[in-house]
Structure 1
């Protein structure tokens, strides 16, 4: 059992109560991060995901999920404010304000809350372990063989069915890793996807870097990009990232090799794998870049313009499908705003539904049934099930008004699928990344 198991399980119990679901999510986070301290990262991101519904923990009913997560991280786990910002995927300022509002809502201070949270987890019952029995080794080996056989048959059946559905489509071929080379100067290659490589021990280090994969399967190291964020334009020919050397947000045009400076970066120690306030999103046509800085929202298309109506508690979640508006979320819900700041639509129900990409369609996620339900003014209701060999991990992003990308665990032909909301078909994406990575970017992928 991992040395971090009890601590992660105690944190999960504060987020999701003493429920089987909270325990399962703690175990899943540990599996995803190989039993290391990084499991806290997966646990907090899962809790704050719009695509998961955690049970009521039984305390802090007046708190939002962000406020509860921040209070637990600061006053139970002992994370610093900057580390909590990374774990929660928010800016340091947003974390500070969420913590202050949470304490005011509870009518207490940090010291008293820390004692209360420790008391809530001190008598957490131990997980019952199976008692050793007679012939356990033999039975275990037999069961393992049978499970392996069933999974193999299921995998072959699913793969045959998948290839049969895609008649006329080129069969899926696994990619091979190639030599890693630096990305320099002009090049005509089109980028297929990118992934971030983290340090093996903890995500809070200076050893993270981005790798981009071209259509010809070249692996290129983006040496100048910080670990904060990196985005690929829909046509795969432009990169947006935070520059280590310039300390600015830049756009790299691959065909010309030209690097355009977008905005001066916030004060940030780039030796740490910590996010700035910037969140980068290319528009669906790839001509514009939306980003946030110092509680303000901007759009760049050769010239920087500010979009009004964005506050300190707001988070930018990308563009709508047509590129006419941006999706902004805060503690009150989500809204779509055009470039003048006018609200096109809004919803308060993000705790259970998502994502909202075209303003008309919602996707509900059912973890237990391993399926999605599509509904909204545009489409009505429709269920979409994943292949039996793939288990949903999270919704990565929208790639169009009709398709979104998910990451999965399992034995299918890929860990990433593009799901069509019209047909319900889950098409495997040829993305080969190191097994323990979770930060992957696809062209035009709007999160």
Structure 2
């Protein structure tokens, strides 16, 4: 038997605590016979190789000398060995040294797939979120146990999660305020669709683009879709389509009227016939994507540090509200109004909820259920 076979037998004896097995010539393998088979300069080479293997195994520094000596004594490293075996045998010796506590767990089974959102469901959708997380690719598998590695999923009022494989991951997805409709760019139809999850009906929206901003009206009836030189408004009940000309960016809604960007620090409210209702300008509106207009169009909520500013139609600050949030929560965004006196906030924090509903007069807040998981993700708010 070769010197390599002798070293294998010696390593096995270390693991089992039994004497080394006899070889074909009737002799037992020993550290001495293993050393005898090695070149004259193998002692230095084995020590260096042993130390390298121990470092590769991330053994604590104080334990390295003893383990290195053990490897050297076992003669599993010295001499010419196949390149693929030293680390394996060093690992076996490490297990023998560490005892029964060092157990390599079996490979975890693949988690089950998340279910696909059915055509129709009984419960409304609270929110949807886009997952694009490559930090833990071994833990987040596409559309697996917890969530897809890239794609959209939605969460119902009960906490049930579904994936949306037909929604283009890079495009916008919106949930209506009543949680009964979804709007997204369909990969199968190659166009934007409105999915009524109560009936299962799919309503196509005419557009050749997928990089569009979508926004449902507060009553969930109308869907606005931003286009290069117009905003297309679709009635989700009748299917009627109206086109509002203009190259302004879509900000959202004020009741049944559109809110569009006006300038770097201004917005304007227009009717669906494109007639101007109001033009509001203020330094606080330098990021219109963070501003949201009340259903009656008279107040605008915009975040400012850890406060929410309430502006009037003249652009003046009416109130400065300090939301009642946990100490670790950080106010990032005001999503939309949730009625005449409440707004939806995005305020992630350590071990706390991330979505809150705030009273615009008192600052009192209430967390949205099942929302802690959405921190740092692209989300869309539905029924709250």
**Kindly tell me: are residues 304 and 216 of structure 1, through their superposed partners in 2, closer, same or farther at Cα, counting changes over 3 Å?**
same
2:160 and 2:302 map into 1 onto residues whose CA distance is 37
- The structural deviation recorded for 1:236 is 1.1
Distance 2:207 2:346 in 1: 33
SS in structure 2 opposite 1:278?
coil
Normalising by structure 2, report the TM-score: 0.59
Write the deviation string for residues 132-180 of structure 1: whole angstroms up to 9, x where unpaired.
xxxxxxxxxxxxxxxxxxxxxxxxxxxxxxxxxxxxxxxxxxxxx9972
**The structure with more radius of gyration:** 2
Question: How far, CA to CA, are the matches of 1:189 and 1:444 in structure 2?
Answer: 10
Structure 1 residues 435 and 178: CA distance shift in structure 2, 3 A: farther
Residue 374 of structure 1 is matched in structure 2 by 310
Asked if structure 2 preserves the Cα contact closer than 8 Å seen for 1:247 and 1:264, the reply is: no
What corresponds to 1:188 in structure 2? 122
CA distance in 1, matches of 2:222, 2:184: 14
| Selected match of 2:280 from 333, 339, 347 | 347
Q: Is the 8 A contact 1:226 1:242 kept in 2?
A: yes
Alignment map for 1:72-221 (pairs within 5 Å): 180-200=114-134, 208-221=150-163
Q: Is the 8 A contact 2:301 2:334 kept in 1?
A: no
SS at match of 1:185: coil
Instruction: Flag structure 2 segments of 5+ consecutive residues without an equivalent.
Output: 1-110, 137-147
Cα 1:444/1:183, change in 2 over 3 Å = closer
The aligned length equals 250
- The residue number in structure 2 matching 1:331 is 263
For the residue of structure 2 that corresponds to 1:410, the secondary structure is: coil
Cα distance between partner residues in 2 of 1:318 and 1:366: 19
Picking from 306, 318, 340, the partner of 2:243 is 306
1:264 paired with 2:264, answer no
Q: 8 Å contact 2:321–2:361 — kept in the other structure?
A: no
Match of 2:358 in 1: 419
Q: Given that residues 326 and 352 in structure 2 are in contact (C-alpha distance below 8 angstroms), is that contact kept between their aligned partners in structure 1? A: no
Distance 1:179 1:247, change over 3 A: closer
Q: Is the 8 A contact 1:225 1:241 kept in 2?
A: yes
Rounded to whole Å, the distance in 2 between the matches of 1:196 and 1:230 is 9
Q: Is the 8 A contact 1:277 1:292 kept in 2?
A: no
Quote the residue 1:236 is aligned against: 179
Please report the TM-score for the alignment, with normalisation by the length of structure 1.
0.51
Q: What SS does structure 1 have at the residue aligned with 2:331?
A: strand
Q: Which runs of 4+ in 1 moved over 6 A?
A: none
Native 8 Å contact 2:310 2:318 kept in 1: yes
Aligned-residue RMSD, C-alpha? 2.9
Deviation at residue 184 of structure 1 after TM alignment:
2.7
Distance 1:328 1:187, change over 3 A: same
Shift of residue 375, structure 1, vs aligned partner? 4.2
In structure 1, runs of 5+ residues without a counterpart are 1-176, 267-275
**1:409–1:233 Cα change, 3 Å:** closer
Give the aligned partner of residue 67 of structure 1.
Answer: none
Shift of the 356–222 alpha-carbon distance from structure 1 to 2, 3 Å rule, reads: closer
